[in-house]
Structure formats: structure tokens, C-alpha cells
Amino acid sequence: MSTQATPTPESRFVTVDGLRLHYLEIDGPQDGLPVIFTHGGGPGSTGWSNFRLSAQAFSRHHRCYFLDLPQYGKSDMVVVDGPVFSWHAQKLLGFMDALGIARAHLVNQSFGGCVAIRLAVDHGERIGRMVLIGSQPVAHGVIDPLPLASKHARGIFPDYFRDSGGPSLEKMRALIARLEFHDDRRVDDENVRLRYEASINPAFLQLLKTPGFFGQPEDLTALLPQVKVPTMIFWGLHDWFGGVDVPMLMLNRFADGRLHVVGNAAHHLQTERPDEFNAAALAFLGGYAT
């Protein structure tokens, strides 16, 4: 892996709708749109842990913000009251408003991409271009059921948080290798450490005890044709969470979409194959060379 990780920036906080949101910021050129990174929904996910291997390449061309959505990282741990993607999209919009970001590119992992799609439907004028990685804004696959909705997925959170003594570094490494990476050898110690430490936040462990804390399920299938923002969809061929029929549906419905499939990668391809991701994503955003 030739990409080098950037040292973790200093924590920053902003208040949106009475909630304290945590983010990291890296300065970059001021003459282009900034980039906001949003993370996936897995245990311990944060904006920084999901995209730290993209920070160096992207910050050469853009000011970069790595956001922790509510319930994640160091942001407030609160119950989501309403449809999950719509609720978080309002917080993402509020984050932009609070920092005076009139317009930005959005680069999003999985769950964060579903939030970005909802924002693109309601406030597409605030987004320059949008990058999605492994995002599934739909309730059903086109060809097959989504594995995440099957009985085999119901134990992901309980297995990690409650079984066999609760969270541990070893269980986090196994979770990343099993569900997020294709090549186990690419699971690095720093990623495991960051994810594990975020997953044992006492406030989050308390939140887990509240029924329905994650919010109401939301299917964005009917809204996909309303996405006018130029979008690049990245998909790992070995993504455990769904087949290529899912991004093909989005590609077919978005007004301006394209699809980049990576053969030897899975759900977190930006971490597993950072050089390829960074080059392709930056080329899409503005024709830059990393």
C-alpha cells in the first residue's frame, strides 16, 4: 500500500440543531469547492477512520472536512427521530450552514452515501459533485435480496457489542476482514485501533440500549430519478452487502451517473485500494493527478 496516512488533525466541534457534531479539517486550496467526507454505518465508523488514506491526496486540491454524523465518533449520541436518511441529511445541511459552506463536493462511504443522496434530492444546489462507495439507499436488490436485510445480518451488532465479552481489538479486526475487506492482509492496525476506540464510547454503548435509536428505515428508490448532481459510484466486486445490481439501479435512475467497479475489493475499497480510489475520485471531481 503506497498511500501514506496523514497525522490525525485536531478535533473541532460545531452545534447543529442543538447537537454537537465533531469533525476534522485539513486546509487546502481555497479556489475550488471543499470536500466533505461522510462515513459508513459499521461499529466505530468515523469520517476520519473511513477516509484517512484519502486525506493527503485530496487536501492537495481541496479543503477537506471529515464529519462524524450523530451517533458516531465524538458527535452527540442521540436517538434519531424520524426516517433515518432524511434526519441525517438535515444535520449534514446544518453542518454546511454552520460553517458557511455554500457548496461542496461530497465523498461518502455506504451509510453516509445514502444520507448524501437524500440531501441531493432536497438541496442538490448545495452539492458540486458526489462520490458514493458501497451505498445502498434501497430496501431490496434488483436480482437478489440485500444480505443486510437477511437473518444472517441481524447478529452483526449484537455479535460485536454483546457476545464473547463485548468489543475488542480482535473482534474489530475480524469484523473488518469479514464484512468490509476482500484481502485480509490489507486490514491495518491503525484502522482497527481507531474503529475499536470509537466503538467503545460509553455514551454510544448506553444509546444501544434504547429501542429504535437508529431511526426509522427509509427506502429512497422512488427518489433516485430526482438526483441531478453528477455522481460517481464506486463498488467493490466482493462487497458482502450487495451485488452490482444495486449500483446499476442507481446508475440507471440518476440523471448524471457513472460506475467504477473494483475487482479485488469489497465494501471499504477506499481503504483497501486507496491509490486506485484516490486517483479515480479526484479525476472525477476535477481532473487532478494524485
DSSP string of 135-164? ---SSS-SSS--GGGSGGGTTHHHHHHTGG
Contact 284, 35 (CB under 8 A): no
Tell me what the mean pLDDT of segment 257-280 comes to: 98
pLDDT in tens, 119-167: 999 999 999 999 999 999 999 888 888 887 777 676 677 789 988 789 9
Structure pTM?
0.96
Q: What is the C-alpha to C-alpha distance for residues 23 and 232, in angstroms, rounded to an integer?
A: 24
End-to-end CA distance of the chain: 15
Rg (CA), the chain: 17
CA–CA distance from 237 to each of 52, 63, 139, 170, 205 (Å)?
22, 31, 20, 26, 33
Residue 19's H or E segment, with its range, is strand 19-26
pLDDT in tens, 59-107: 999 999 999 999 999 999 999 999 999 999 999 999 999 999 999 999 9
How many of the other CB atoms lie within 10 Å of CB of 248? 17
pLDDT in tens, 11-61: 999 999 999 999 999 999 988 899 999 999 999 999 999 999 999 999 999
